[in-house]
Amino acid sequence: MLRHAHGACIGAVHGAEALAAAVAGFEAARDDVLALVQRMAGGGPMSDPVQSFRAAILAALGHAPEVIEPGRFHRFPTRDRRGDSAGWCKLFADLRGGVFGCYRAGISETWSAIDRATMTRQQRAELARQVMAATVEREAQQRALWAEAAERIARTWAECMPLVPGDPVTLYLKRRGFGGVWPLPACLRLHRGLTYWHDGERLGMFPAMVAPVVAPDGRMVALHRTYLTADGRKAEVPSVKKLSAAAGPLAGACIPLHKPQRGVIGIAEGIETALACWCASTVPTVAAYCAGNLAAWRWPGGVQRLVIFADADRAGREAAESLRARAFSARLRSEVLTPTDDGADWADVWALRTAVTAEGAGA
What φ, ψ does residue 225 adopt, rounded to 5°? -125, 130
> Within 13 Å, how many C-alpha atoms sit on residue 179's CB side?
9
Are 227 and 205 in contact, with CB atoms under 8 Å apart?
Answer: no
**What pLDDT, on a 0 to 100 scale, did the predictor assign at position 104?**
78
Write the CA distances from 350 to 180, 355, 357, integer angstroms.
Answer: 13, 9, 10
Domain limits, CATH 3.40.1360.10, in the chain: 251-363
What is residue 86's three-state secondary structure?
coil
Query: How many residues comprise the chain?
Result: 363
Q: From first to last of the 363 residues of the chain, give the pLDDT tens digit.
A: 333 333 333 333 334 344 344 434 434 444 443 444 344 334 444 469 999 999 999 999 999 999 999 999 999 999 887 778 889 999 999 999 999 999 877 889 999 998 888 999 999 999 999 999 999 998 998 899 899 999 999 999 999 999 999 999 999 999 999 998 999 999 999 999 999 998 888 999 999 999 999 999 999 999 999 999 999 999 999 999 999 999 998 989 999 999 999 999 999 999 999 999 999 999 999 999 999 999 999 999 999 999 999 999 999 999 999 999 999 999 999 999 999 999 999 999 998 886 444 344 444
41-61: string of b/e by CB count within 10 Å (b at 16+)? eeebbeeebbebbbebbeebb
Q: What is the pTM of this model?
A: 0.73
Q: What is the dotted CATH code of the domain comprising 251-363?
A: 3.40.1360.10
